[in-house]
Amino acid sequence: MAEDDLIDLKFRLFDGSDIGPDKYDPSTTVASLKEVILARWPQDKEITPRTVNDVKLINAGKILENNQTLLESRVPIGELPGGVTTMHVVVRPPQLDKNNVHTEKQLGDAQKQNCCPCTIL
């Protein structure tokens, strides 16, 4: 595959930090991208996904399905040749433990701290 056919992606985390950018083949599945994100997740984050099901990828306001390829999930409007596409990463919050009354408050505090300054139009 030609270098020009590869797609430049970076992944924006909830705190505004990024993973990437890196080049990916258009036939790469969303599930494979999530595996890359899990493997490269920064260790210093309070919220850490455990499985690909804990991660949602958003491109141009749409949640991408695991079985979709990059080619199927691309939104060509607004993409520049040679530009980097930013996908937003959302981590599903941990399940609440009914035996721990502090968990709900801690989860609420974590959600308030972890907001991305990006606006999706």
The rounded distance, in Å, linking the Cα atoms of 4 and 107 is 43
- Report the sign of the C-alpha dihedral through residues 90, 108, 43, 51, in that order: negative
Q: What is the pTM of this model?
A: 0.72
Decide: helix, strand or coil at residue 47: coil
What is the total residue count of the chain? 121
Q: Residue 76: is the preceding peptide bond cis (ω within 30°)? A: no
Which portions of the chain are predicted below pLDDT 70?
A: 1-4, 75-82, 94-121
- Predicted pLDDT of residue 76: 59
From the centroid of its chain, how far is CA 107?
Answer: 20
